């Protein structure tokens, strides 16, 4: 090649290569943008049909619920119906769907005791299948019902004993959206309060997508609460031993009135 002249074959090859590279980059960017738009659209669609169950409000209307034996129970707003009859445990919860999609109950687990006794949700194979179609509309109230009837079920006996001794009960509900996706487990606590049972919500587990908090963070928070609770119990026990050793005039814990005559029944300083 003579100096100063152009090899048009090489130049055209380079131009073709550069054009191909630019086209490839543009195609990659377009595909990436399209995938991002598709993911955003899918997330928006999921949000539109995502259910989330919670206890109903105290001012919500009560619900009457019938079981297959013809046994009826009543669950006022914010409450549960908890009864045992001839060894069968009947339970029902007044619910409110605070999500944006219809909730379809799929299964349930009932265990005696507080939720602190169970760090994680029950295995899926332990859930009782929901034989009755229970749909809770978005932004409205609904209900759940379940009964433990099997005489050979040890959990039934434990739950019946908890009902008779008026001890708390833990219920976990497995539900999905209307097409069977977005499976969620919500844990409810049934706490006796005089002649009724109040419903509390402990936490949610999202089985098909990541929730707002990781499982590691949630377990760490539960462990911290356990440590604080055990420390408080030990502290109270040590204070009780000290008071017994020194007599009724021993030191009292902050917030504990003990035998201080200057405090009234509400823990306030007495006087005019």
- Which of 41-50, 121-130, 135-144 has the lowest average pLDDT? 41-50
Q: Among residues 245, 243, 172, 177, which one has the least CA distance to residue 209?
A: 177
- Residue 8 covered by a domain: no
The predicted model scores a pTM of 0.69
d(CA 91, CA 161): 14
Q: How does pLDDT run across 2-13, given as a tens digit for each residue? A: 545 667 777 777
Do 224 and 151 share a domain, yes or no? no
DSSP helix/strand/coil, 94: strand
Do 225 and 147 share a domain, yes or no? no
- CA 38 from chain centre, in angstroms, equals 29
Do 239 and 190 share a domain, yes or no? no
Last residue of one domain, picked from the residues 192, 210, 228? 210
Give the chain's mean pLDDT.
83
Q: Which runs of E-coded beta strand occur in the chain?
A: 53-55, 63-66, 72-75, 79-85, 88-97, 103-112, 128-129, 135-136, 141-148, 169-176, 184-193, 196-206
- Chain length of the chain: 272
Q: How does pLDDT run across 90-104, given as a tens digit for each residue? A: 999 999 999 999 999
- Identify the domain containing residue 237 by its residue range: 213-272
Do 118 and 182 share a domain, yes or no? yes
Task: Give the per-residue pLDDT at 249.
Answer: 52
User: Does residue 66 register a pLDDT over 70?
Assistant: yes
The pLDDT of 134-157, averaged and rounded, is 96
Task: Give the per-residue pLDDT at 269.
Answer: 38
- Residue 47 covered by a domain: no
User: Does residue 113 register a pLDDT over 80?
Assistant: yes
- Residue 192 covered by a domain: yes
Do 175 and 70 share a domain, yes or no? yes
């Amino acid at each position: 090649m003579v100096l100063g002249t152009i090899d048009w074959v090489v130049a055209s090859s380079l131009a073709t290569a550069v054009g191909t590279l630019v086209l490839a980059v543009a195609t990659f960017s377009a595909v990436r943008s399209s995938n991002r738009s598709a993911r955003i659209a899918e997330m928006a669609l999921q949000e539109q049909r995502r259910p989330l169950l919670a206890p109903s409000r105290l001012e919500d209307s009560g619900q009457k619920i019938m079981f297959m034996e013809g046994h009826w129970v009543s669950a006022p707003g914010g409450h549960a119906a908890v009864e045992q009859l001839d060894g069968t445990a009947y339970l029902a919860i007044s619910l409110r769907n605070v999500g944006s999609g219809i909730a379809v109950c799929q299964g349930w687990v009932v265990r005696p005791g507080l939720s602190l006794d169970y760090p994680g949700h029950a295995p899926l194979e332990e859930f009782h299948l929901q034989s009755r179609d229970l749909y809770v509309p978005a932004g409205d109230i609904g209900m759940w019902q379940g009964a433990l009837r099997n005489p050979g079920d040890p959990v039934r006996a434990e739950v019946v004993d908890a009902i008779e001794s008026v001890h708390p009960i833990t219920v976990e509900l497995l539900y999905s959206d209307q097409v069977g996706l977005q499976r969620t487990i919500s844990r409810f606590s049934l706490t006796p309060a005089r002649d009724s049972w109040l419903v509390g919500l402990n936490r949610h587990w999202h089985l098909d997508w990541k929730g707002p908090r990781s499982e590691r963070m949630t377990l760490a928070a539960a462990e911290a609460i356990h440590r604080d609770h055990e420390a408080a119990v030990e502290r109270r026990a040590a204070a009780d031993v000290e008071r017994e050793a020194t007599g009724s005039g021993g030191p009292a814990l902050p917030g504990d009135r003990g035998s201080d005559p200057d405090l009234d029944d509400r823990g306030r300083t007495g006087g005019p």
